[in-house]
Amino acid sequence: MLGMAIPKRWVISLALVGLVSLFMASYSAVWAGPASATTGTTGAPTATPTTVPANTTLYSITQFTLSTRVVPPGSIQGMNVRAFNSDGDDITNTAPGLTYAWSITNGCATLTNATSTSAGFDFVSAACTGVVTVTVKQFGANPKSKTINITVNAPEGAPPVVPIANSSTPAKLPTGVDSNQVTEIKAGDGGSLSVDGGGGKAISLNVPGGSLGDGEAASVSIKPISADSVPSAPPAATEGASSGTFKFGSSVVQITWYDKDGNAEDTKKISKPAQVCMTYTQEDIDNADGGIDGLGIWRHNGTEWVKLNSTAYTNPNRICANTASFSPFALGLDVAAPGAADTGATGLPATGDYSPNAMTLIMAMFAGFALVGTGVFTARRARRVREES
């Protein structure tokens, strides 16, 4: 009767649910790991050791050679610490469970890598005295601490400002150069120039005052050129996290300086960096590895292309960099490093932040057995009823 009352498809469904439950339980060791499953061998996390071998037990740490360290204001310096066992052996990189903590009082510096063996200190640009403390801990061993007194010297007085005078005679502009693409730069006042790079793209140069020598007269031009007229981009690296190369974006320009008589200066260098800016397009962003973060200004120094420290701005869309030397400049688009693409590795699907506990998995396993058993019993009961009818 029971077999006739329960449709056959429900019997099959119950059996399938049971099999799925067994499958889930069999992967409990993997799903109990990180939230996003990855390929490779996984297992239970290593427990924190309650004891450590005697030859890797923390006994002492580095002694600072000086009781006081004097540093220049605004300097960046590093300090490091080493751990030793009772035999005097360096166990910094071999002992389990070592932790490091650095600190400095009175705000005399900001710290980087404050929980590593080597800490970086960016000291303030003012007179300051403080104490650097480093503490090394290990489970089962007494913590070890060392201190050193730090004195940051007061900054020297600013040197007197010597005014830079403009030339009494304006520079002669070069002949054969579009008047819209060249301008005079004055020694004391500096100057700026912006040209049309085509398609509404602006290319600009801003030279601060004091970039030229006292009384010097000069002029500068910006000429948009094609990528075919400059050396090609360097080939991509064969390994590493960065490709070390780029492809040309929407702007390539030649910036040329001229002396007071309008003669080109191929190796012109100014005493204060000037700012070069180029307009970028949506196509530049789409074609750069990393999007807007993959944009940069590159300069060819006569031997190779060098990427300048560049900053991207919006409204208007432009990317800018500072330079004291001049030659061809290009809006460069980062290229993905070889091997950076997906390798095609597969793994178990991510399970979010949920990791089932042992009791839940055991109950799921028993539920699976129960469902399978119920399905088998019901199927046999139904078959027997059919045979008797």
Residue ranges covered by each domain of the chain: 2-35+355-388, 54-152, 179-334
The fourth-level CATH superfamily of domain 54-152 is Immunoglobulins (2.60.40.10)
- pLDDT tens-digit profile, the chain (389 residues): 444 545 555 556 555 555 555 555 555 544 444 444 444 444 444 445 557 787 889 999 987 777 788 999 999 988 989 999 988 899 888 888 899 999 999 999 999 989 999 999 999 999 999 999 999 998 878 899 999 999 999 888 777 777 889 988 999 999 999 999 999 999 999 999 999 988 889 999 999 999 999 999 899 999 999 999 999 988 775 544 445 689 999 999 999 999 999 999 988 999 999 999 999 999 999 999 989 999 999 999 989 999 999 999 988 899 999 999 999 999 999 988 766 554 444 445 555 555 566 666 677 677 666 666 666 676 677 677 666 65
Cβ of 17: how many Cβ atoms within 10 Å? Answer: 16
**Containing H/E element for 377?**
helix 358-388
pLDDT of residue 18: 57
pLDDT of residue 42: 47
| Alpha-carbon radius of gyration of the chain | 35
Name the token pair of 179: 């008047």
Query: What's the CA gap between 3 and 11, in Å, rounded?
Result: 9
pLDDT of residue 64: 73
Cβ of 384: how many Cβ atoms within 10 Å? Answer: 12
pLDDT of residue 44: 47
- CATH number for the region 179-334 comes to 2.60.220.30
Closest CA to 329 of 304, 306, 301, 298: 298
pLDDT of residue 105: 93
